Amino acid sequence: MTLAIVNTRAGVGLDAPAVQVEVHLTNGLPGLTLVGLPEAAVKESRERVRSALVNAGFDFPNTRRITLNLAPADLPKEGGRFDLPIALGILAASGQLPVDALESIECAGELALDGKLRPVPGMLPFALATKAAGRRLIVPNACADEAALAGNGLTVLPAATLWEVVAHLLDQERIAPHVLPAPPKAHNPAPDLADVRGQHQARRALEVAAAGGHNLLLAGPPGTGKTMLASRLPGILPPLDEDDALQVAAVRSVCGLALEADWGQRPFRQPHHSASAAALVGGGSKPKPGEISLAHMGVLFLDELPEFSRSVLEVLRQPLETGEIHLSRASHERRYPARFQLVAAMNPCPCGHLGDPRNRCQCTASQIQRYQARLSGPLLDRIDLQVEVPALPPEQLTAQTPGESSEAVRERVMAARERQMERGALNSQLGGKALEAACALDDEERAWLAGVLERLKLSARAYHRVLRVALTLCDLEGAPKPAQAHLIEAIGYRQLDRLLGKG
């Protein structure tokens, strides 16, 4: 047989489209031609495969003309994942391996020159797609645990060398299917909220943010606990279910990050303020997810918010509304999930001591205005909870009584979220009509609220976010609908709209 076809998959964002490696041997001038939009690393597979076959004890058909086609031809192919399917295709086309042994399998792996298999990124999306196709999957040993996360219904066959793969396909030495030794679990527990002293309003805002999925901005002098509070948010969020954990793991897999240590945990991403727009949203010559996608189903924490470039901050506006990022470039188009909670921290002025009774602010009025103007009104409009974090008096800092634990707060958060899911979505994602119906304000409450919004000069978007926060406060108490007290507290969380003049 001079024609062989091996099934594998490419990596396109979080998708793994099917690719067929077609190998044809014919008479003619000896050589190897590789077509099908291969990039540089794929083109170099010719030399890796040649050496791996020879060093593993197989014959390379040097006297024949070899044509390799990676179909479909219009799909770009990247990375070293095609080494193993190319090698198996050459062996089958040259008669060293039966062609029918390749029909029910898919495979991926980079080959070392001695025939050993090296891991490749993006194996979890690959495994999920192979499972849907109903085939078995052959992977390098280092990728076996990741592929097995796809769950029941997928047979994962791990191998250390090319020789082991061929021996399995020839029924000489069968590879035992890989099974995870134990369900994966996180090894790095989130910090406990009990460590936070005082800051009762900020703790309350953190609980409201967790219960309703709201975005949060903490403003205050240096050293008041803003970063400490933000890092405790993942610990009071409900644990991820299996489907959500797979989504988070798939993003990390495409980025080549380890999955085991953080399996099932809410992500907490903290990019430096020097990060570029591409680092946040993703992209590049070889498109990869950015920080907002790595924070999917978790928390994106932006410390020193005004120090970020304004153009970088503005790219957050659309993902905050839609929950996904759509990258369109001349050569590619990608969609990545980005359903994250934004938590930001900032100082009130360049020196950080505006409003701090312990230290006198040294900034001029124009310096403060320029500093605060780095945050646009549309961005602040999308942050539901805006809270001042004041400096604590010494007696609160030295108090021995711990605050309420993350576990106790998480129980209330989960109960509130259960009430929200009965409506079909978290309050932060509730549409206009559903939001109005859930709040069910009477004429008197509407008139009072309209007057307050007019005096505070809040936008229509801010109005709906006030309703969403009030509904979350209602859910935390288990009340049937928001009362005026809930609306007053929700409006109180828009204090930076007035402080910064962004209403």
Query: Mean pLDDT score of the chain, rounded to an integer?
Result: 89
Range of the domain at 258: 193-499
Partners of residue 65 on adjacent β-strands: 26, 31
Tell me if 177 is assigned to some domain. Answer: no
pLDDT tens digits, 122-160: 999 999 999 999 999 999 999 999 999 998 899 999 999
Q: How many CB atoms lie within 10 A of CB 64?
A: 20
Claim to verify: residue 233 and residue 362 sit in the same structural domain = yes
pLDDT tens digits, 19-32: 999 999 998 888 89
Claim to verify: residue 408 and residue 482 sit in the same structural domain = yes
> According to the model, what pLDDT value does residue 368 have?
87
> According to the model, what pLDDT value does residue 501 have?
44
The tokens for 63 are 């006297």
Claim to verify: residue 199 and residue 120 sit in the same structural domain = no
pLDDT tens digits, 418-463: 999 998 899 998 887 888 888 888 888 888 888 888 888 777 778 8
Claim to verify: residue 349 and residue 208 sit in the same structural domain = yes
CATH number at residue 145: 3.30.230.10
Claim to verify: residue 263 and residue 409 sit in the same structural domain = yes
Report the candidate in 150, 77, 87 with the shortest Cα–Cα distance to residue 116.
87
Claim to verify: residue 152 and residue 230 sit in the same structural domain = no
**Confidence grade of residue 353 (pLDDT, cut at 50, 70, 90):** confident
Percent of the chain with pLDDT over 70: 94
Claim to verify: residue 213 and residue 148 sit in the same structural domain = no
pLDDT > 70? residue 400: no
Tell me if 181 is assigned to some domain. Answer: no
pLDDT > 80? residue 98: yes
Contact between residue 290 and residue 13 where contact means Cβ atoms under 8 Å apart: no
pLDDT tens digits, 462-475: 888 889 999 999 99
Cis bond upstream, residue 337 (ω within 30):
no
CATH number at residue 465: 3.40.50.300
pLDDT tens digits, 439-451: 888 888 888 888 8
Say how far apart CA 341 and CA 355 lie, in whole Å.
Answer: 28
